[in-house]
Amino acid sequence: MPKITAAITAVQGYVPEYVLTNKELEQMVDTNDEWIVSRTGIKERRLLKGKDQGSSVMAIEAVKGLIKKRGIDPKEIELIICATVTPDMTFPATANIISSAVGATNSWGYDINAACSGFLFSLVTGSKFIEAGQFKKVIVVGADKMSSIVDYTDRSTSILFGDGAGAVLLEPNTEGFGILDSILKSDGSGVTHLHQKAGGSRRPPTHETVDAKEHYIYQEGQAVFKFAVKGMADVSAEIMEKNNLKGDDISWLVPHQANKRIIDATAQRMGLDESKIMMNIQRYGNTTSGTIPLCLWDYESQLKKGDNLILSAFGGGFTWGAIWVKWGH
Ligand code: ACO
């Protein structure tokens, strides 16, 4: 029997309308456009505004678009995995909210929280159900409303993050296309450098925790930067070596969009020039679980059947990893 791989057969993204520019941030915190662009590469980011609007709002739009694009009946979908660190509610899973809103009434689903590596961890998890021959249609969606956990009086984090979602459809392939290999890693000692202090079971939210702004992202930027540069470059080089891939064999690096300097260091280590890097950080900032599918969506028209893609990320946990994908359509 031929080996079954999980191919990405459709991709769709969604970003909210509101654009928060560096200029507008200059009115909110002590920062300037020149500093933000030179230190991060970000020019603007999108924000989901409005009452009672959670990450699912963006995920639902992305998944609905995906279903329409592929021309399938939502009832054919068997599994929906949602990568997010900003679920609509602690429970139930955001995947449940998405599946009922899109009419995927024959599916089951759950959320995966692996911070900025969430989409990669979810993609590998989803691919296993296809490879095992159990399912024929799995949706993996990454969605984060980072503006819900960003302190807009803190210049070190407010400039970085944005809201957005992206989704892919996985289907079986027997011609060698799709997700061909992955290396995923996590190290809980990284928690001290990047976390949300309150809101979980260790420190449930109280007036005191909210007053102390402990429900916002806490990040030691410089420390995370050092780990991220090394972790993302190392794992991207490792997956190439493991599969005997040289720089010339790679068509695209699809990196998590946290900081342009981290992305450039990774590409340099892989021996790739700038023309092979998918980059949209200038428009969306860091949308956490959304960055990688949003890149695939933006660059989809430039992808060719047989292209070798390396998807790579580093984020809170720490978590990091790389996936080798052979594009199949
Ligand atoms: N505008 C102007 N000045 C600023 C700003 C700002 N927005 N932010 C910080 N500064 C100042 C600092 O106060 C500091 O001033 P000082 O030298 O007088 O003390 C100076 O700029 C340098 O600050 P650093 O923190 O050293 O700046 P750095 O070059 O490290 O950039 C950044 C900060 C952008 C946060 C960077 O460290 C970074 O990208 N870190 C990694 C982020 C990341 O990858 N996170 C993982 C994913 S997120 C997730 O998983 C949810």
- Name the residue at shortest CA distance from atom 8 of ligand 1: 156
Positions marked catalytic = 116, 256, 286
**Does one domain contain both 131 and 187?**
no
Considering only CA atoms, which of 3, 37, 329 is closest in space to residue 168? 329
pLDDT given at position 50? 97
Q: Is the pLDDT of residue 73 over 90?
A: yes
Q: Is the CB of 70 under 6 A from ligand 1?
A: no
DSSP 277: B
How far is it, in rounded angstroms, from Cα 169 to Cα 274? 28
Q: What percent of the chain has pLDDT over 90?
A: 99
Confidence band for 207, pLDDT divided at 50, 70 and 90:
very high
**Tens digits of residue pLDDT in 84-132:** 999 999 999 999 999 999 999 999 999 999 999 999 999 999 999 999 9
Q: What is the pLDDT of residues 129-147, one digit of tens each?
A: 999 999 999 999 999 999 9
Domains identified in the chain, total number: 2
pLDDT bin (cut points 50, 70, 90) of residue 196 is very high
Range of the domain at 42: 5-176
| CATH code, 306 | 3.40.47.10
Domain final residue, candidates 120, 149, 176: 176
Q: Are residues 212 and 307 in the same domain?
A: yes
Residues 6 or more apart whose Cβ sits within 8 Å of residue 82 = 59, 93, 94, 95, 98, 109, 110, 111, 112, 122, 141, 142, 143
Among 148, 176, 204, the domain-final residue is 176
Q: What percent of the chain has pLDDT over 70?
A: 100
Taking each continuous run of H as one helix and of E as one strand, the counts in the chain are 11, 13
One domain, residues 24 and 169: yes
- Indicate if the pLDDT at residue 1 is higher than 90: no
Amino acid occupying residue 137: K
Same domain membership, residue 185 and residue 163: no
Euclidean distance between CA atoms 115 and 112, whole angstroms: 9
* Mean per-residue pLDDT over the chain, rounded: 98
pLDDT-based confidence at residue 269 (cuts at 50, 70, 90): very high
- Nearest protein CA to atom 10 of ligand 1, as residue: 156
- 22 close to ligand 1 (CB < 6 Angstrom): no
Could you read off the pLDDT of 172-188 as tens digits, one per residue? 999 999 999 999 999 99
- Backbone dihedral angles phi then psi of residue 173, each to the nearest 5 degrees: -140, 140
Span 301-328, pLDDT tens digits? 999 999 999 999 999 999 999 999 999 9
In ligand 1, which atom is closest to the CA atom of 315?
50
Which ligand 1 atom minimizes the distance to the CA of 259? 39
Which of 28, 224, 230, 281 for a ligand 1 pocket mutation test, highest count of atoms within 8 Å of Cβ? 224
Residue entry with tokens 């995923």:
184
Ligand 1 centroid to residue 227 C-alpha, Å: 14
Buried b / exposed e across 215-250, counting CB within 10 Å, b at 16+?
bbbbbebeebbebbbbbbbbbbbebbeeeebeeeeb
**Which of 176, 203, 230 is the C-terminal boundary of a domain?**
176
Q: Is the pLDDT of residue 2 over 90?
A: no
